[in-house]
Structure 1
Amino acid sequence: MTGIGVRGFLGLLLFGMLGVGFNFFQPLTSTVFRASIFFIALLGGIICIKNRRQLNKIELCSFVAISCILAMLAASMRSGYDGGLYHLPHQVWLRTEPIVVGLANLHGRFGFSSLYEYMGAALWVKDNFILLSYLQASFIVFFLLFLIEQSRNAEGAHQVLLLGVVANFIVFHDYIYEEKIDKDLALELWYTYTDLPAGILFTVTFLYGHWLVSQKSSVQRNEWSIFSLLLLAALLLKISSVPLVLWFLFVVLYRIVSKRDNPFPVLISLVLPTGFMFVWFLKNIISTGCLLYPLSSSCIDVPWSAKINALKDAQWITAWARHPGSGLYSLQDNGWFLSWWYPHYYPFLIKLLLSGGVVGILYVGIALRSKFASVKVLDIRFWGAVGVMALSLLFWFWKAPTPRFGIGVFFLFFPVVFLFFSGYDFDLSVKINKPIQVAVIVGLLFFSFYIGTPWKKISQQNLFSFKAITVPTPKTQADVTYGVRVIGGDQCWLSPQCSPYDRPPLSSWHGVKTFYNFNYYKSSQ
């Protein structure tokens, strides 16, 4: 299954990894990097033209139609309240400097360093961010195309799961653009945020793995490669996608043990993702001193290690998600749930139940028109899919229970759990005509975008060019010790070439920028 949707996600992964690789040596505004991206895109276009007869007409027409609709959505997209706080300032560093040793010592949030940052940093047009909004929208374009591709190939339980995800997505789509509720409750589409792209890759990776589990024939090497690369993309967008590693292992073991698939293609498929992961770990070690920031246990003993920042950031993310602006009390007791979280997110929970109800009604309707095959209550496929969903939900709730951090789990949870209770193996007694099924899914998705789009915000000016925000730059003054420091507060992370009082200054070591004084370290030994 390598339609436009899957290829689009793999292309975005390659785009981001090229940025990571080039940033070891050059800033992402370098002519060499931009020329490389241009020629790769040109080569891809030439290949598509040569293979145009192999393109599915439904997918191609859907791609054009969805792209046109989402261009309108991109015109109304906002930056997000963390955009100027650290997302865009971090991209400033990627655009102006090669990789900086110990950058997370300047500000811990720079250590998170999602793959999305490397994509976005290459798309600025001076201080214009319109291409960042189209980058965000492209994830939805490829997601919808992926659902359409799946609908053309799905059968049995996977077909039902796909319909459940589509129904769930339609309910949640209106919530993404809801403006009448608190901004913390909405899964808003913000062009500096990684939450929606990471949630989409979480959903896509799980669905692709479920499709492999459902296959009657042996899984091919290229299919294992796609699965492993989708998993890698989800992890590099946001480390909270880590429960998918268990899903990957489950799918591999199920195919090898139960279906007697050859394990050798699986090992071969892991070569490229392993290489990408090695580059990513190397980048993390250089900029943070940790393999997986902010996991403090992954920090190694190097002079520029930001282990203290990692520990603090991990604590504050959890505390802020449980009860914003209330200190760290929520890490010591569970009073945060009833005192703030439940009353505040009650409308969101109602929305979750509504989406679950829609999926349940859909499944009941399908069950009435189906004939169930014999279902094994202890079928391992039951426990694999539901177990991963349960662990993902618990992981989200315990570590960072903010709605936008769990988008992927919310898209999948009810469709997967209800499929578990309704029975796994069944055949539709009335076969659905594939073109009709695809047309219905496309129509429903388009309708959901129509009712969920803030049409009043769309204008011709916003469609082609807008300056939503500028990167904030605080006032600075000369300092004998640090060279430059901020006037009035520890806000130096807003400005390159600047260090707070209690952190090392920006220095140079053999021509490499660093936030650690290596010469001082050597003299003190």
Structure 2
Amino acid sequence: MDSFFIYYLATLGSYYFTGRAFYLIIFNNKPDNKYVFNIKIENFYLVLGLIIFSQFLLIFNFFAGLSKFNLIFFLISIFIINLRYIKIPKLSSLQLIKVAVICVFFISFYDIGLSKDSYLYHLSSQSWIFSEKIVFGLSNLNPYLGYMSISEYSSSLLNVINLNFAHTFNLVFLITFFWIMFEFIFSKISFYKNLAFGFGIFGILDNFGFDGGRNGFIALQEINKFDYSFSIISILFVIFSIYTLAFKKNINKNELLVLTLLLIFAIQMRVFGIILLPILFYIQFQFKTFSSSTNFSFLLLVVWLFKNFVNTSCFLYPVKFSCLNSNWLFKNQAEYISNIVLDSFRDPENGINSIKNFDWILNVFLPNNKFVLINFLISVIIFRVCFTLLVKNSTYFNIKYFSKFLVFPMLLISLWILMFPQYRFSSFFLMFAFFILNFDLISNQKGMNLKLNLLVTLIAMLLVVNLNDYKAFVEDPKRDIEIVLPVIQYEKMSYFGVKPVSENSKGILCFQRKDCYSGNYNLLLTVSQYNYKTIKPLESKYYEDLLNK
């Protein structure tokens, strides 16, 4: 257990100093402006490091499997870059709190497990990335491999320590979120203070209310599920975008770089992040800011889109119109998978029957999520009551404000219901809606009391970690943390690949076996002279027949 904690600290340190090295390189080792959006740039080092490291792995995988990535050389290079500008930080109460955040979230390792999707395709994706260079038509093997997120790249290396360690990916975002919230509390900017208090209240109320109190606040997820990580990076992008538009007269190049990297990484995690692009474009036009930093970030997006095309024949898988007729295209796959995934969100029990009707809203969504919506509204009301009682010159019910801006939260909630109607996707939409609904209070010129704000945010953070994690930690803090996969039997297919046949695989779960799939079709594997592999379907009408059923 002690060695696991050391690996954890070393990994976070590697990400942090990678982010710092990137910042030093971009600004020529002279970081004159140590602030972005009026908070210290160091709060972003951890997530920036993960973003940049992931891009290195993505590009490297075009030429080789990540098992050949020289991690030692990379870390030595990062260390040397950081040596060129050394500054010993002053120990303060805020720094101690940030260390405590790291330690608290480590406890979440004690009762965390792999998601079912890990067995379905995440572990298989990571096996391909680790052992092989990029594969043409990889989604033909298993259509869900086409959903390969940027998270798979760093996770494939974290798995070398053990399968639990991939949980570190999600913890980077939770740690960054609360680092920034605590930085807000100690800030002199009332907008930041009030926003931290708002999310603190929202986070506490997530644990109390109808049906357990769920209201859309961020939470811990099983390993290889990254819905909340997407929500965090997206909501941070929104916060700093709106702050820039509402309170700043300009945006400098390092702020623009941070915004674009957050956005690009969100898109690399979930293609849905592309809906945030208009906000970035509006900021650029508003401030007439077009710099090489944004060109650099969008180049990373182009690389990602090309990766998608190689794997799936689609630039935005499984969006049908983004697909091209390549020689590894599995016809109608994108359309079928798009339908079946959307339907699984809407009505997972009854097959593809919810695409062309809205009966599922009354029959499935509301029975499962009505208390989430009720808890969300109660949270908004409680926050507004608390804020107006604690802060002078604030109005509980601002008719003028609501008449102008109520449409935006309604639109966000509608998008959640129509496109991603499951609770695990709700955080971005509901936290964004909470932010907009209370923006009139959050932008009050008088900031929330520091001690009360600190207490509220600390409680909200502690409640993110599950009670079972604390219990397991107290009972045996030194126990080994390791997931052991079951032994699975596979049946050889006629041409390429195997099918899982063990009872515990349920006929579809491949676990870590990379050449495994469950579809009733045959595949052909070819290898080019440069050792690039292509997986092609032999039954081109397989998905067409499924669509016509």
Q: TM-score, normalised by structure 2?
A: 0.79
Counterpart in 2 of 1:523? none
Cα 1:388–1:90 shift into 2, 3 Å: farther
Counterpart in 1 of 2:324? 300
In 2: Cα distance, 1:406 partner to 1:344 partner: 13
Letter in 2 for 1:220: N
Cα 1:322–1:251 shift into 2, 3 Å: same
Are 2:234 and 1:202 aligned? yes
In 2: Cα distance, 1:139 partner to 1:174 partner: 24
- The secondary structure found in structure 2 opposite 1:325 is coil
Are 2:393 and 1:370 aligned? yes
Are 2:160 and 1:125 aligned? yes
Matches within 5 A, 1:69-108: 69-108=104-143
In 2: Cα distance, 1:355 partner to 1:472 partner: 46
Matches within 5 A, 1:337-356: 337-356=361-380
Counterpart in 2 of 1:38? 75
In 2: Cα distance, 1:349 partner to 1:191 partner: 27
Cα 1:118–1:462 shift into 2, 3 Å: farther
In 2: Cα distance, 1:185 partner to 1:317 partner: 24
- The secondary structure found in structure 2 opposite 1:208 is helix
In 2: Cα distance, 1:93 partner to 1:438 partner: 46
Q: What's the offset of the Cα at 1:102? A: 0.5
Letter in 1 for 2:59: G
Aligned match of 2:98 in 63, 75, 92? 63
Q: What's the offset of the Cα at 1:10? A: 0.8
Are 2:509 and 1:505 aligned? no
Are 2:549 and 1:515 aligned? no
In 1: Cα distance, 2:303 partner to 2:295 partner: 13
| CA contact 1:103–1:515 (8 Å) conserved in 2 | yes
Are 2:229 and 1:192 aligned? no
- The secondary structure found in structure 2 opposite 1:17 is helix
Are 2:88 and 1:52 aligned? yes
Cα 1:269–1:309 shift into 2, 3 Å: same
In 1: Cα distance, 2:81 partner to 2:91 partner: 17
Cα 1:478–1:408 shift into 2, 3 Å: closer
Counterpart in 2 of 1:448? 463
Letter in 1 for 2:134: I
Cα 1:151–1:337 shift into 2, 3 Å: same
In 1: Cα distance, 2:41 partner to 2:325 partner: 45
Report how many residues are paired: 492
Counterpart in 1 of 2:439? 419
In 2: Cα distance, 1:361 partner to 1:453 partner: 33
Counterpart in 1 of 2:265? 233
Cα 1:69–1:162 shift into 2, 3 Å: closer
In 2: Cα distance, 1:388 partner to 1:44 partner: 44
Q: What's the offset of the Cα at 1:364? A: 2.6
| CA contact 1:478–1:484 (8 Å) conserved in 2 | yes
| CA contact 1:143–1:200 (8 Å) conserved in 2 | yes
- The secondary structure found in structure 2 opposite 1:514 is strand
CA RMSD after TM alignment? 3.6
In 2: Cα distance, 1:399 partner to 1:46 partner: 47
Counterpart in 2 of 1:402? 422
Q: What's the offset of the Cα at 1:443? A: 3.3
Q: Percent identity of the aligned residues? A: 18
Counterpart in 1 of 2:197? 163
Cα 1:364–1:67 shift into 2, 3 Å: same
| CA contact 1:112–1:293 (8 Å) conserved in 2 | yes
Counterpart in 2 of 1:25? 63
Letter in 2 for 1:354: I
How big is each residue's C-alpha offset from its partner over 1:467-499, in whole Å with a ceiling of 9 and x where there is no partner? 3352774412363x4475555997486532356
The runs of 5 or more residues in structure 1 that have no matched partner are 521-525
| CA contact 1:4–1:59 (8 Å) conserved in 2 | no
In 1: Cα distance, 2:455 partner to 2:516 partner: 55
Counterpart in 1 of 2:306? 282
Moved more, 210-219 or 467-476: 467-476
In 2: Cα distance, 1:251 partner to 1:387 partner: 21
In 1: Cα distance, 2:464 partner to 2:501 partner: 46
Are 2:43 and 1:9 aligned? no
| CA contact 1:299–1:307 (8 Å) conserved in 2 | no
The runs of 5 or more residues in structure 2 that have no matched partner are 1-35, 541-549
Cα 1:99–1:490 shift into 2, 3 Å: farther
Are 2:173 and 1:150 aligned? no
Letter in 2 for 1:508: V
- The secondary structure found in structure 1 opposite 2:234 is helix
Are 2:455 and 1:466 aligned? no
Letter in 1 for 2:198: G
Cα 1:303–1:65 shift into 2, 3 Å: same
Q: What's the offset of the Cα at 1:9? A: 1.3
Q: What's the offset of the Cα at 1:303? A: 1.4
Are 2:149 and 1:114 aligned? yes
In 2: Cα distance, 1:156 partner to 1:187 partner: 26
Counterpart in 1 of 2:279? 247
Letter in 1 for 2:267: L
In 2: Cα distance, 1:149 partner to 1:355 partner: 23
In 2: Cα distance, 1:162 partner to 1:186 partner: 14
Letter in 1 for 2:173: F
Q: What's the offset of the Cα at 1:218? A: 2.3
| CA contact 1:474–1:492 (8 Å) conserved in 2 | no
In 2: Cα distance, 1:413 partner to 1:240 partner: 17
| CA contact 2:205–2:213 (8 Å) conserved in 1 | no
Q: What's the offset of the Cα at 1:3? A: 3.5
Cα 1:351–1:503 shift into 2, 3 Å: farther
